[in-house]
Structure 1
Amino acid sequence: MTNPPDDVLRSLDDDARLMAQILLRTARHASLATVEPETGYPMASRVAVATDADGAPTLLVSSLAPHTAALANDSRCSLLFGEPGKGDPLAHPRLTVSGRAELLASGDPRHARVRRRFLSRHRKSTTYADFGDFSFVAIAIERARLNGGFARAYALSPDDLCASVEEALAEAEADIIDRLSTAPDVAANLASRLLRSDELGWRVATLDPTGFEMMLGDRIERIVFSRPARTPDDYDMLFKQLLDSGGEEASE
């Protein structure tokens, strides 16, 4: 099968890149396609997803699941992100990423961070995440395709979706979120000023140098900083700017 002709694809711009990043970073689940070992046929399943600090998709899989055996046999896989809304489901944005899955051993330096970020998004998974037959998986993206709606198709590279993160910034995330969660009314003010929501219960769930996710129940919203954080100390300034500007210096 040949690739679609170039004239089917639009030139990638900042708006399309941001749309793809938000689809990836705000997803709670995705369709996972793997290669069935016994037959070589494609096999699709639904999986819960999160992202590492750099934007790479992460999964929590059971050794009893067929897709886990498939990934162990052939690490190539594809994930489809995007929530159909009202009307034509093909009119809504979706993102397909293709890459290779890597099982994260407990001693892997990424394991604790991936675990923390995943469980912050999927709190009910805490009850079984540490069972012996469950493992965290990171997906190394090799290519991606965004369909933003009718006649809005784009090809993306790994660099369009993921950005390397300094270790100090990645490790600062947990402490900063703890401080935000204990500071009086910070989450409520962020939700009110940035999301225009006065509902109670919003929290900052995950944080990375380019932005953060807020959650209320199953709802996830991403806020993008006006510029990336370069040091852990930058986070305080970036959050203060967002609150002072009422969200004018951020994008969702």
Structure 2
Amino acid sequence: MASDRGHGITHCDDPRAAQLSGLLTRRRQTLGLTVEQAARATGLAEHRYTALERGAGHGIDLGGLKRVAGGLGLTGQPRETFLLLAADPDVTPYDLVERRRPSIEELAHIDLMEPNPALITDHAWNVLAANASVARLFGDPGRAADGDRNLVLWLLTDGAGRRFADVDEVRADAVARVRAALAQIPADATLQALAGRIAADPLGAGLWRSRSPRLPAEASARRLRHPLYGEASVLVTTSRLPGGLQLIVHHAAHLIQSPAPR
């Protein structure tokens, strides 16, 4: 099936190519662009863009495809669909996440969570932001070296043992989360580095061998020891944010706002 330069040429016997061609053709026409203009917008030679719009995305690496998506203003689900259709078959949705820093709104949100300790990590539990309650209760992540601002690695320290009465379960769950994440995206260099550091730690190595990968729970009860207010059960929740970020909140307001024991 052929068409003029203003329309895609699809491969009728290849549903994936047909979907890719249809998506790009509709997007280009929505923008009111010719093939030549779309090629310039995406940074591709015209013949390469024409081939891509026909459904032949092979030969363009993931970085190049992301630039095409940016040039055509594809965001959200249409962007992910385009990348999955155009990329090599072994590319997974986890490869498509645009890693980023927390936004101003997200930073303000964790401040509003006070007095609940709240922090934002990347997909490998590197702490990117934390409110003042985290610093008061667990220690200030900003004082640690860049490579050591990791929640899972901190849980393997004596400091975590002083703060969690059930630290053995907390540690085992954290290591299991890393194993589960690495099983989903085994080529991720950041997770690989974290796994290597866990394996190099005697405590972490034992947990790595003993715990099978599992999907992380969104919420769990933990026994938290507060230096002023004593020990109590708190709910710890993990929420997924765009860009592979995680919001982790220790809901301890009921403990912190209670009268301190004399």
Q: What range is the shorter-chain TM-score in?
A: under 0.3
More strand by share: 1
TM-score (norm 2): 0.24
More helix by share: 2
